Structure 1
Amino acid sequence: MSQVFSTQNKIAIIWDFDKTLIPGYMQQPIFERFEVDEYNFWNEVNTMAARYKERGYTVSGESVYLNHILTYAKAGRMPGLNNKLLRKLGKEIVFYEGLPGFFEELRAITRSKPEYARHDIQLEHYIVSTGLAEMIRGSAIAPYVDGIWGSEFIENPLQPGYLDQEDFPIESEDIISQIGTMIDNTTKTRALFEINKGSNKNETIDVNAKMPAEDRRIPFQNMIYIADGPSDVPSFSVIRKFGGKAYAVYKPGNDKEFEQNDQLLQTGRIHAYGPARYSSDSNTSMWLRMHVHKICQRIVSDREVYLRQNMAGPPRHLKDDPEVVDLEDELTQDTLDLD
């Protein structure tokens, strides 16, 4: 049976995290824990690339904040900061109104109509963030998602010569000391293709390998990407280019963020925008529910057209005399046709 019919019945809702699912930045509990001035930290981060440039160094703007956290930890300003603590601090993250329940509300749409259930339509939630994956894993939203992309730290890096000894002593403090993975606003698009091709579910699939559209696990037209603004333009562009939906959110009551979202709409970057409020009666919730229904309806329509075009009917008895009708045989044949 064709992959188009048998597998492409999944929907992916892909979420940014900071200022999309939460009002601010997820690192706030870290600053509160260690009594670090949050404003001063981000001011340092925002000016650091320029300061390094003055000294003859070129640094990645997206990696600066991760390295600055490492610097704080190594300098003793964030003592004992490790992945276990990051996950614990993730529990303190406060989400926007309606979350995490709204994630289940969207997932339930695929079971809301008999035709959706008949075609086994499934909805998956993913978070793709430049923030810290361990904090997201420890947050209240984690049980409701099917995958998380985020930046990660290593606590005890492998030492020189580790391949030559079976029991190599690692002499390192139990704090984060290296960047394991860095997600930036450009590499977020890689996550979109991993979801599209299914390499996030099957490690044998190389995300860079050429794959026919009909063999991909979740086609882009079955995706909705939700984020807070201009920094997500690369992901918005990929989603739109391949037929998915792009939606921007703003902090309720924030005129500047509202204006940014409107500019994204006017320049064709997104399909719509609304407040980052996920109660059942909000504009954002209604828009997302509507488009999940539309995707479900299209999946049903496409699969049923496929069935009509590709599934041959059962063989029928041939009559020698077309004028003679055997009623009993006709009734029996009709019953078989219904099956």
Structure 2
Amino acid sequence: MARRKNAPFVLIYDFDGTLSPGNMQEYNFVPKLGVTPKEFWQKAKESAKEHQADEILAYMRLMIEEANRKKIRISKQNFADFGKNIEFFPGVDTWFDRINKYGKEKGINVEHYIISSGLREMIQGTPIAKYFNKIYASGFMFDHYQIAYWPALAVNYTTKTQYLFRINKNSLDEHDNSVINKFTPHNERPVPFKNMVFIGDGETDIPCMRLVKDLGGHSIAVYHKGKRGALGKAKKLIEEGRATLALPADYTNESDIEKAVMAMIDKIASDNILAKL
């Protein structure tokens, strides 16, 4: 495996709290159950504690159980329909086109990835799904009627980091471990960590933030300006050396995060010129 001649600039996003203000399950699915988000997540936590289970698997199991109990259909198409109604932070709808265009002007190919503990089937239903090279998120197995019946993949705060190495080594298929476990010198990996930016909002993103930052890339902690305590939490990630920047989750034209990402693209473009010289 050889490094690509011009390695891409890679933006990797968490989803809930990063691109969207809330948890994706809360926009349509949880209200259909007739419970509040607080009640749903509390029940999931209690189940995880009772069974000493992974919290992601616990909430996925609870989704299936509660949907069956309330006779709510949860097919692939239903999940995609739920995804269509997810709300986003300001500017997200035009963010990808703007950043891709800027990268192209600088001679840089920009790629976008999701690494989320949310549900890939919902994310795949969103209008922004088309912009991602790959969506890594928790997902279900579906029967011959395309109805969810069992968790297929649970992405939690520690397993998130494996997908950084998948991107780093260009081993993108979740089920294929042949390349990801093969020793490859850092200078031969297709996507160097210095070309990566991880954007996240919370504790489940800390391992990814720290890994990307420590290996030469950048990590941005975004926060919801209208959410109590969000700024303090983001600043703490800076103080603890886990993030490079703490910025509002505002993706509009000329926002702070746009200026920061464009500056990072400028740096990669300059590095490429120096390398050629």
For Structure 1 versus Structure 2, the TM-score category normalised by the shorter chain is: over 0.9
Matches of residues 163-312 of structure 1 in structure 2 within 5 Å?
175-200=147-172, 206-302=179-275, 304-305=276-277
**Match in the other structure for 1:159:** none
Identity, % of aligned positions: 29
Query: Structure 1 residues 254, 8: CA separation in 2 closer, same or farther (over 3 Å shift)?
Result: same
Deviations 1:215-273 (A, max 9, x none): 21110000000000222111112101211101100001324111011111011111111
Query: Structure 1 residues 204, 66: CA separation in 2 closer, same or farther (over 3 Å shift)?
Result: closer
Query: Structure 1 residues 278, 174: CA separation in 2 closer, same or farther (over 3 Å shift)?
Result: closer
In 2: Cα distance, 1:90 partner to 1:253 partner = 23
How many residues in Structure 1 have an aligned counterpart in Structure 2? Answer: 275
Match of 2:115 among 97, 117, 128: 128
Query: Are the equivalent residues in 1 in contact too, given 2:76–2:121 (CA < 8 A)?
Result: yes
Deviations 1:13-51 (A, max 9, x none): 00000000000011122123444432211121233333x
Q: Which amino acid in the other structure matches residue 21 of structure 2?
A: P
In 2: Cα distance, 1:255 partner to 1:279 partner = 22
**Match in the other structure for 1:308:** none
Matches of residues 29-44 of structure 1 in structure 2 within 5 Å?
29-44=28-43
In 2: Cα distance, 1:78 partner to 1:250 partner = 37
**Match in the other structure for 1:334:** none
- Runs of 5+ consecutive residues of structure 2 not aligned to the other structure: none
> What TM-score do you get using the length of structure 1 for normalisation?
0.76
**Match in the other structure for 2:7:** 9
In 1: Cα distance, 2:12 partner to 2:216 partner = 14
Decide which moves more: 132-141 or 41-50: 41-50
Query: Are the equivalent residues in 2 in contact too, given 1:273–1:284 (CA < 8 A)?
Result: no
Decide which moves more: 141-150 or 253-262: 253-262
**Match in the other structure for 2:68:** 74
Tell me if 1:87 matches 2:85. Answer: no
- Counterpart of 1:274 in 2: which secondary structure? strand
Decide which moves more: 285-294 or 274-283: 285-294
Query: Are the equivalent residues in 1 in contact too, given 2:111–2:133 (CA < 8 A)?
Result: yes
Q: Which amino acid in the other structure matches residue 64 of structure 1?
A: A
Query: Are the equivalent residues in 2 in contact too, given 1:109–1:293 (CA < 8 A)?
Result: no
Query: Structure 1 residues 201, 34: CA separation in 2 closer, same or farther (over 3 Å shift)?
Result: closer
Query: Are the equivalent residues in 1 in contact too, given 2:75–2:148 (CA < 8 A)?
Result: yes
Deviation at 1:99, TM superposition (A): 1.1
- Runs of 5+ consecutive residues of structure 1 not aligned to the other structure: 157-169, 306-339
Deviation at 1:301, TM superposition (A): 2.1
- Counterpart of 2:199 in 1: which secondary structure? strand
Query: Structure 1 residues 282, 178: CA separation in 2 closer, same or farther (over 3 Å shift)?
Result: same
> What TM-score do you get using the length of structure 2 for normalisation?
0.92
Q: Which amino acid in the other structure matches residue 15 of structure 2?
A: F
Q: Which amino acid in the other structure matches residue 234 of structure 2?
A: N
Query: Structure 1 residues 240, 278: CA separation in 2 closer, same or farther (over 3 Å shift)?
Result: same
Q: Which amino acid in the other structure matches residue 47 of structure 1?
A: E
Deviation at 1:58, TM superposition (A): 2.0
Aligned CA RMSD, in angstroms, stands at 2.1
Deviation at 1:8, TM superposition (A): 4.2
Query: Structure 1 residues 65, 269: CA separation in 2 closer, same or farther (over 3 Å shift)?
Result: same
